[in-house]
């Protein structure tokens, strides 16, 4: 039996994989213990192929494939989040509506960070913001070092974007603010209604992370991708039963349970077809935001036959 290293977050829907209750047929998973959140694994995987299997931000993955990194995803999506609540503005900078961000500076940790890509997608596709008319101010390197940034990206290494937002040097920010200044407020006020409408009207339910496998292992073990996919599906069953019952849920799980009224009984759907509108949207926006040089087909993103 082949032993494979895996970097994966500690979610309820993967717990049976972590405790060994569920195992991929023919393979043993050796979980890597990380210091801090799973994001710490992303750069290690992209730059050094440090793990056999790794959870990875989906836009980091698209950027990595643009530069031919040697891993490929299976259609397992361990993390999802709506980006609306991450968008804040300094109300003293004349931003009353999303279109008011045009001509202004908006901070985000890195240009290809998934929450930022999804937030810009919402601004463009829901509110008609011309993203090319916004200056995107970033403070960190992209995970994919080779990534070429658009001309309207301003890189300020190590900058405190939250402080810049409070000072009015930025008109808005995406996922950068943890302070309490009364001048900083959400851009989108009716977030719950807007999030529900996004799903019901477009079928888009934002995916933040996917799961990638080293290409060398896919070649060496043709059954690996499908075996791993089946294991993730099986591991999710106890979680789905638990959130349906509503007992012993943490805050994140309660939020997922509440979404079932508009995303369906499974708030963490895997597979291509169940997620096609979402996958098409992230590809479309990655291309529009100059992260991808072309719009790849959804099937190109994943190991062929991984759902069999």
Residues of the chain with CATH 3.40.190.10: 2-81+206-301, 84-201
Which structure tokens are listed for 35? 């210091």
> pLDDT tens per residue, the chain (308 residues)?
689 999 999 999 999 999 999 999 999 999 999 988 999 999 999 999 999 999 999 999 999 999 999 999 999 999 999 999 999 999 999 999 999 999 999 999 999 999 999 999 999 999 999 999 999 999 999 999 999 999 999 999 999 999 999 999 999 999 999 888 999 999 999 999 999 999 999 999 999 999 999 999 999 999 999 999 999 999 999 999 999 988 888 888 899 999 999 999 999 999 999 999 999 999 999 999 999 999 999 999 999 999 87
User: Quick one: which H or E segment has residue 75?
Assistant: strand 71-80
Beta bridge partners of 108: 174
Please provide the CATH number assigned to the domain covering 84-201: 3.40.190.10
CA angle 271, 275, 278 (to 5 degrees): 145
Strand partners, 28: 3
Phi, psi of 85 (to 5 degrees): -75, -10
Smallest CA-to-CA distance from 141 within 173, 163, 112, 121 is with 112
Cβ proximity of 123 and 129 under 8 Å: yes
Handedness of CA 149, 155, 159, 164 (dihedral sign): negative
The pLDDT value recorded for residue 2 is: 86
State the pLDDT at residue 59.
98
CATH topology of domain 2-81+206-301: D-Maltodextrin-Binding Protein; domain 2 (3.40.190)
Among 53, 31, 33, 56, which Cα is nearest to 43's? 56
On whether the CB atoms of residues 16 and 234 are closer than 8 A, the answer is yes
Tokens 């694994």 sit at which residue? 41
Give ∠ CA 82-38-134 in degrees, rounded to 5: 45
Question: Model pTM?
Answer: 0.96
Q: How far apart are CA 161 and CA 266, in angstroms?
A: 36
């Amino acid at each position: 039996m082949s032993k494979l290293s895996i970097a994966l977050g500690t979610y309820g829907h993967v717990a049976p994989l972590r405790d060994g209750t569920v195992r991929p047929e023919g393979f043993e998973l050796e979980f890597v213990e990380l210091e801090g959140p799973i994001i710490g694994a992303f750069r290690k995987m992209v730059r050094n192929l440090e793990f056999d299997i790794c959870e990875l931000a989906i836009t980091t993955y698209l950027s990595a494939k643009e530069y031919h990194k040697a891993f490929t995803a299976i259609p397992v999506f361990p993390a999802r989040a709506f980006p609306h609540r991450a968008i804040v503005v300094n109300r003293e900078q004349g931003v009353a509506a999303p279109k008011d961000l045009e001509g202004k500076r908006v901070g985000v940790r890195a240009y290809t960070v998934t929450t930022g890509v999804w937030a810009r997608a919402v601004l463009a596709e829901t509110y008609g913001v011309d993203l090319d008319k916004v200056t995107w101010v970033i403070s960190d390197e992209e995970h994919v070092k080779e990534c070429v940034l658009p001309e309207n990206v301003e890189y300020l290494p190590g900058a405190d974007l939250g402080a810049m937002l409070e000072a009015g040097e930025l008109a808005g920010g995406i996922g950068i603010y943890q302070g309490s200044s009364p001048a900083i407020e959400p851009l989108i006020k009716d977030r719950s209604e807007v999030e529900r409408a996004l799903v019901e009207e477009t079928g888009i339910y934002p995916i933040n992370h996917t799961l990638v496998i080293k290409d060398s292992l896919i070649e060496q073990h043709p059954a690996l991708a499908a075996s791993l996919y089946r294991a993730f599906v099986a591991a999710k069953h106890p979680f789905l039963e638990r959130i349906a019952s509503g007992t012993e849920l943490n805050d994140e799980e309660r939020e997922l349970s509440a979404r079932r009224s508009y995303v369906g009984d499974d708030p963490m759907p895997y597979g291509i077809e169940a997620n096609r509108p979402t996958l098409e949207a992230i590809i479309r926006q990655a291309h529009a935001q100059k992260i991808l040089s072309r719009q790849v087909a959804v099937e190109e993103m994943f190991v062929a036959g991984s759902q069999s």
